[in-house]
Structure 1
Amino acid sequence: MPETGPSAGSDHVRKLLAAAGASGTWDWNISQNRLRIDAPFAELYGLDETQADTPLPTATFFKAVHPDDRARIRIAVAGMVAGAEHFSKEFRVVTADGTVLWVHGRGETHFDQDDQPESFTGLLIDVTERKRTEERLRVAQSAGGVGTFEYSDGFATVAVSSEFCRLLGLHPANILPVRTINAVLTSADAGMLIPEAPHGAQMETLDGTFCVIRNDDGERRWITRRGEILHDGDGGYRLIGVIYDVTAAKAQEAALRDLNETLETRIETALAERQLIEDALRQAQKMEAVGNLTGGIAHDFNNLLTIIIGNIDTVLRRSGTDRDPREQRSLGNALKGAERAAALTQRLLAFSRRQPLAPKTIDIARLLTGMSDLLTRSIAETIAIRVVAAPDLWAVEADPNQLENVILNLAVNARDAMPDGGPLTIEAKNEVIGADAFAGVPDGAYVVVSVSDDGMGMAPETVAQVFDPFFTTKEVGKGTGLGLSMVYGFAKQSGGHVHIRSALGAGTTVSLFLPRQQGAAESPDEPDAVAAERGRPSETVLVVEDDEDVRAYTVGVLRELGYHVMEAVDGITALQVLGRDDQPISLLLTDVVMPSMSGTELADAARSLRPELKVLFMSGYPRDTISPDGRIQAGVDLLSKPFTFASLSQKLRQVMDHAEG
């Protein structure tokens, strides 16, 4: 039987095959089940060149095929031997030195006159470099997130890359049905791969962006397609292009669009916030201005009031019932006026957060219960007072006396807002404040004390000014305008906040926010047992006061009380007295604000000389000395100016007896 197929000895054929990139040829005689190969085939398979053109067992064809590809190629070759006409497969072969090459085997079956398969011939083409290029391209596409495709007009399938499949969430494949690709689109347009009207120039670009829902995880993504349409002469075309994910860019575009659309609103919000900040700054500046004014005059003013109140009190005590009633009444009125002036100064100090506070951990429920009689006496009978304290109230740290004054002040304001009577509610509850729940109140845990009325209420422009010093809605002569200012100052000085809610005809609620304090509340102070307010013969008091009139009044009261008294005009003189060993001194009574040496500096120096010395400070303005933050330091005893005979005698006695105990 004559052999068919390429002749291994034909130089002309071999040159043609080499030019085509062939790596070898084969001729498989099906009826004889023998294989004939050429020299390049033998070299590729690691066979001796002498075996070329020599009939070999057909198993030789599979010897160098890579184990992972061998089963696939056996099946394909079996089909050819059984009568299939065409063979076209890419597979790997392992050379004699272990190198792995990619080859493309192409062959066909030849039939005899009875149409039976007679021989199977073909050639191997080395495609290793192309495969490496494809792999590099695949890696580049995967790294860059770029998928490629090629679609021919009229076909129902499209050639795609693995990255194309990944971007759409499809199972990896080389060929995909067009309908499978279009199924992931969210819009019912012409599709991702088929242009609506491929006409015009022989080459045109085709760009577009599509929203897809990935087939694997259902995630919504934005995909951009860019391609070129290549027209042929018969009116058909091919579309070659790429796709890539632009979801992040779309999100940025949406954010920018939203930013632009809301720019005006955000500007308005920013301006409003700035206005609030500026309002708060102006309020702080007003407070600071009043505070500086108050601090500047409080010391001297309280010294004057000490002289006035003290001497009037002295005259009233000594006159007894022998004085003319008109003189007695005049002195009484003068004393009341001086006391009102002292209260006014105290309110100024409270507003400017410069009043001396003696904070304690207190139980507000107990404090409100203790105020019931005071509230009943201070409020008209037409007012129905209701006090509500939530169970398990947290403890707070505040000056209990000043807190009582604040609550009483708010209750009196509520009473004045209801001239025809009505309900007045004082409520205390625990509250955890979240972000921006109340303007100016930071997040945190608070005990909120609220005083509410059903009175006339206030307009928004009035509410905006109620905490300003000397602002009042009452008639001339009916108020100083420092009540709510004092409440504001106390709240801030106590580390808390105050908030007001009011509307015309709908009443007013003022809420005091005091920070929660860990720990148990202290028991309320009981009045110290004072056996006698008078001094004892063995007790000597050193009075240090730079104001001559205040010093004279103070020394006179102490001597009247029976104390042995020494006096000094300033700290330097006092230290000279304290440095003498021949003079026992029981207590140092010193002003705080003095030239050259402050009272606190004097006390420190005095205790270094006499460690057991008792000290009582007296001041009308102790700011930046014994209470730099407005809170009297632990272990410090203070007698606030102006003081009277009774307050001086009792405070002095308490310090003496407490120190001894």
Structure 2
Amino acid sequence: MPDAAIEAERLLAMLAAAGASGTWDWDIVADRLRVDQRFAELYGLDPAAGLSDLPTARFFAAVHPDDRPRMRIAVAAILAGAELFSKEFRIVTPAGTTLWMHARGQSHLDPHDEPVRFTGLLVDVTERKRAEERLRIAQSAGGVGSFEYSDGFATATVSEEFCRLLGLHPAQALPVRTINGVLSDGDVPLIPDPNRGPPPETLDHVFRVRRADDGGERWIARRGEILREGSGYRLVGVIYDVTLAKEQEARLRELNETLEMRVASVIAERQEAEDALRQAQKMEAVGQLTGGIAHDFNNLLTIIIGNIDTVLRRFDPATDPRARRALENALKGADRAASLTQRLLAFSRRQPLDPKRIEIDRLLSGMSDLLTRSIPEAIAIQIAPAADLWSIEADPHQLENVILNLAVNARDAMPDGGSLTIAARNVTVGTGGEPVAGVPDGAYVMIQVTDTGIGMTAETITKVFDPFFTTKEVGKGTGLGLSMVYGFVKQSGGHIDIDSTPGRGTCVSIFLQRQFADASERHEDIEAPTAQPGKLSETILVVEDDDDVRAYTVGILRELGYRVVEAHDGAAALRLLERQETPISLLLTDVVMPQMSGQDLAVRVRALQGDIRVLYASGYTREAIMRDGRLEPGVDLISKPFTYHTLAAKVRDLLDRVQ
């Protein structure tokens, strides 16, 4: 074997042993190519066909089309006399896989310095290239911007992420003064100014910058290396946003400085929240209990009051005056019991309400005489509504009871005299207004009842809304006054607050939401009901599951002259209605009944007879039979217990009302 061939064989064996992905030996004079087996595999050559005396075009056969032009230029430089060759390029394997290769080679010259051979090796750098790509993506996703700056230049090479972090337009190079222009005054430059002496000792630094695009203030960290090159230097580094870390650091420092105070505050807030939760749970539980009791008791009172009232209407006082007085006393006792159940329902937020649009100044003005008669002369009373008060929506009679109740409580708190002020003003809570603890944002009319009495302790204030809690002596009160006030305010969608200091008086503030309804809905005073006779041509269907209440109701209506049919539940009422030949003028039904409620019954009855009037009789909440806070046309409510005159007036009013 010639010496040249032996040397080439030895060289190829050494390169293969060094871990190269493939080796080549190009005879420039003969223009022939000799390769090893790995090279042949990468280029899709058949080793059985021989790996020597290949045409030199095979060197470019597997090169990616996009990289082939620059590879031809680089090889042409070798053929023109360049000695070293080092290029990265892509090849496409026979299987269609794209790999990155690093070709490293050298030309061999003859005595006349002419290239005669070109040898080298291929190293597979695909994994390195993929790692570099992953690193680039990670830096972009992680918000890391890179820069490079050489001493003496006025610009720095930067990445797109570098520009984004500083709010600058994307560019490959930026003026140093543009980069440093985003720094806060007095800070060291992010890129050292070539006109300001040597570079810093380290690139590790945190800057406060003001972004060029939106002016937002951010904290930017710089990290990198200073590379010395002769008498000059080169800076290579990265920047990234550390604003969140800086803010957390500041918060942590503040926490450490105020830790004891914050711990005490958190404990107090938690205790307050737990107390409020326990109070709410207690009030809800007691409310459900009292509401259920009051509802059932109202049915009993309807029977008791109704029958006493019936006997009194037919009793001749000349026959037995003593018996009449006994009946009248029994009726008074029953009325007081009805008042008690009404307060229980108010506390449990289940009392029937009749909300109307109210102008508070008119309501307070109308109560002036009543308040004056209820308050002794030793107490100076002042009613002071502000001008231009907003309207509210609430039950006017119940609101009057609330104000009167608070005024009487204030009177009892001033046994030696004092002053009582009942005021009202518009209040906006929240955005653009004054914050009030426990009151959601919105527009309210605030009614305040303020006295100069003995006041209450903080412990007493936590109990004042509890049912049956009272500071008065036995026999001087039921302890339902403020619980009734609380229930009414909550049921009306409002809020209540008490501020009191022992020896300095009490201020009760009630917040009721502003009402934007039409002015035609204003509340007008209602005269006491009067009994009016009915007509036999008017048929009333009475549905009540309590037999005694139903018998009492039917008796009154027949006494008034109406034609009455009755049913003990909804299903029986529907069957009766299907057999009824003459139309029903009015459906009078209980609300809370087993299997089918009064409201469900009314819907089904109206589907059969659309023009029927509906009167609900219940001791439970009005909201159970209301839609969007109002009763439907042709529908009304009478609260249990009711009397002969009340029922007569309500039925006649509903039948005569124009729909």
Distance in 1 of aligned mates of 2:472 and 2:273: 29
Which amino acid in structure 2 is aligned with residue 587 of structure 1?
L
Paired residue total:
492
- Give how far 1:402 is off: 1.7
d(CA) in 2 for partners of 1:408, 1:226: 79
Alpha-carbon distance in structure 1 between the residues aligned to 2:488 and 2:526:
24
| Aligned with 1:378 (options 374, 377, 387) | 374
Shift of 1:431: 1.1
1:433 deviates by 0.7
1:650 alignment partner in structure 2: 649
Is residue 411 of structure 2 the alignment partner of residue 415 of structure 1?
yes
Equivalent residue number for residue 469 of structure 2: 471
Identify which of 302, 306, 309 aligns with 2:305.
309
Once the two structures are superposed, residues 585-628 of structure 1 have per-residue CA deviations (whole angstroms, 9 ceiling, x without a partner) of 43332222223333223333333333333322211225774248
Q: Equivalent residue of 2:351, what SS?
A: coil
Tell me, yes or no, if structure 1 residue 451 matches structure 2 residue 449.
yes
Q: Cα deviation per residue 1:353-412 (whole Å; 9 max; x = unaligned)? A: 212222222212222122222222222232222112222211212222222222121111
Superposition pairs of residues 571-586 of structure 1, within 5 angstroms: 571-583=570-582, 585-586=584-585
Instruction: Specify whether residues 581 and 316 from structure 1 end up closer, same or farther in structure 2 by C-alpha distance, changes over 3 A only.
Output: closer
Distance 1:405 1:220, change over 3 A: closer
* Aligned match of 2:355: 359
The answer for the alignment partner of 1:338 in structure 2 is 334
Q: For 2:491 and 2:509, locate their aligned partners in 1 and report how far apart those are by CA, in whole Å.
A: 16
Given candidates 484, 487, 497, the residue that maps to 2:485 is: 487
Structure 2 residue matching 1:440: 3-state secondary structure: coil
Cα pair 2:531 2:644 within 8 Å, conserved: no
Change (3 A) 1:207 1:377: same
Q: Partner of 1:56 in structure 2?
A: none
CA distance in structure 2 between the partners assigned to 1:146 and 1:266 by the alignment = 44
- Matched residue of 1:457: which SS? coil
Answer whether contact 2:208 2:220 (CA < 8 A) is retained.
yes
Paired amino acid for 1:505: G
In structure 2, C-alpha distance between the alignment counterparts of 1:381 and 1:162, rounded to whole Å: 90
How far did residue 290 of structure 1 move?
2.5
**Secondary structure in 1 aligned to 2:587?**
strand
- Structure 1 counterpart of 2:314: 318
Unaligned runs of 5+ in 2: 1-138, 167-173, 178-182, 189-195
Corresponding letter in the other structure for 1:470: F
Q: What whole-Å deviation, never above 9, does each CA across 1:309-358 have from its counterpart, x for those lacking one? A: 11222233333432655444433332222222212222222222212222
Over 3 Å counting, the alpha-carbon distance change for 1:467 and 1:145 in structure 2 is farther
AA aligned opposite 1:598: S
Give SS of 2:384's match: strand
Distance of 2:633 and 2:269 partners within structure 1: 40
Stretch deviating more after TM superposition (493-502 or 282-291):
282-291
Distance 2:518 2:356 in 1: 11
Aligned residue number for residue 114 of structure 2: none
Distance 1:229 1:294, change over 3 A: same
**Paired residue for 2:438?**
440
String of CA shifts for 1:606-656, please: whole Å, max 9, x gaps.
333333333222112257742488865554211111111221122122122
Structure 1 residues 582 and 632: CA distance shift in structure 2, 3 A: closer
Report the equivalent of 1:87.
Answer: none
SS in 2 for 1:509: strand
Which secondary structure does the structure 2 equivalent of 1:262 belong to? helix
- Read off the aligned partner of 1:580 and give its amino acid letter: R
Are 2:551 and 1:558 aligned? no
Question: 1:68-88 CA distances to partner (integer Å, 9 max, x unpaired)?
Answer: xxxxxxxxxxxxxxxxxxxxx
| Deviation (angstroms), 1:429 | 0.9
State the TM-score, normalized to the length of structure 1.
Answer: 0.63
Displacement of 1:448: 1.0
Does the 8 A contact of 1:355 with 1:630 survive in 2?
A: no
Q: Which moved more, 1:537-546 or 1:455-464?
A: 537-546
Moved more, 624-633 or 574-583: 624-633
Q: Partner residue of 1:508?
A: 506
- Residue 387 of structure 2 is aligned to residue 394 of structure 1: no
Give how far 1:294 is off: 3.2
Q: Which amino acid aligns with 1:507?
A: G
TM-score computed with the length of structure 2 as normaliser: 0.63
Alignment-mate amino acid for residue 385 of structure 2: A
Given candidates 252, 261, 265, the residue that maps to 2:245 is 252
Q: CA deviation digits over 1:15-44, x for unaligned, max 9?
A: xxxxxxxxxxxxxxxxxxxxxxxxxxxxxx
Q: What does 1:528-567 align with in structure 2 at a 5 Å threshold? A: 533-567=532-566
Partner SS state of residue 637, structure 1: strand
Distance in 2 of aligned mates of 1:532 and 1:338: 21
Change (3 A) 1:528 1:161: same
Q: Secondary structure at the match of 2:276?
A: helix
1:260 and 1:603 mapped to 2: Cα distance? 67
Does the residue aligned with 1:501 lie in a helix, a strand or coil? strand
Alpha-carbon spacing, 1:381–1:561, altered in 2? closer, same or farther (3 Å):
farther
SS at match of 1:588: strand
Tell me the CA shift for residue 505 of structure 1: 1.5
Return the offset for 1:245: 6.9
2:567 pairs with 1:600: no
Q: Which amino acid aligns with 1:414?
A: A
CA RMSD after TM alignment:
4.5
After TM superposition, list the pairs within 5 Å mapping 1:257-268 onto structure 2.
Answer: 257-262=250-255, 264=259, 265-268=261-264
* CA distance in 2: counterparts of 1:173 and 1:448, whole angstroms: 63
Residue deviations 1:191-216, cap 9 Å, x none? x98899xxxxxxxx7687588999x9
> Which amino acid letter does the alignment assign opposite residue 512 of structure 2?
L
One-letter code aligned to 2:442: G
**Deviation larger for 490-499 or 556-565:** 556-565
Residue 638 of structure 1 corresponds to 637
**SS state of the match for residue 392, structure 1?**
coil
